[in-house]
Amino acid sequence: MPAEPRQVEAPERLWRVERATTALRFSRISPVDAESDRAGNRFDVPGGGVLYAASDPRGAYAETIAQFRPSALVAELDAEGLEPGRVPYGALPREWRASRRLRALQLVDPRPFVDIDHPATHAFLTREASDVLRALGVGSLDIALVRGPSRTLTRALAGWVYTRVDEHGQGCYSGIRYSSRIGSQECWAVFDGTAVRLVSELDIGRDDEALNEVATQLDIVVS
Contact indicator for 130, 16 with CB cutoff of 8 Å: no
Tell me the mean pLDDT in the region 169-175: 95
Question: In degrees rounded to 5, what are phi and psi of residue 222?
Answer: -85, 120
Size (the chain), residues:
223
pLDDT tens profile 48-102: 999 999 999 999 999 999 999 987 545 444 545 545 444 556 899 999 999 999 9
Tell me the mean pLDDT in the region 15-34: 96
- Give the whole-angstrom CA distance, residue 72 versus residue 21: 34
Which stretches within the chain are classed as H helix?
31-34, 57-65, 72-79, 94-98, 119-128, 130-135, 143-146, 151-162, 209-217
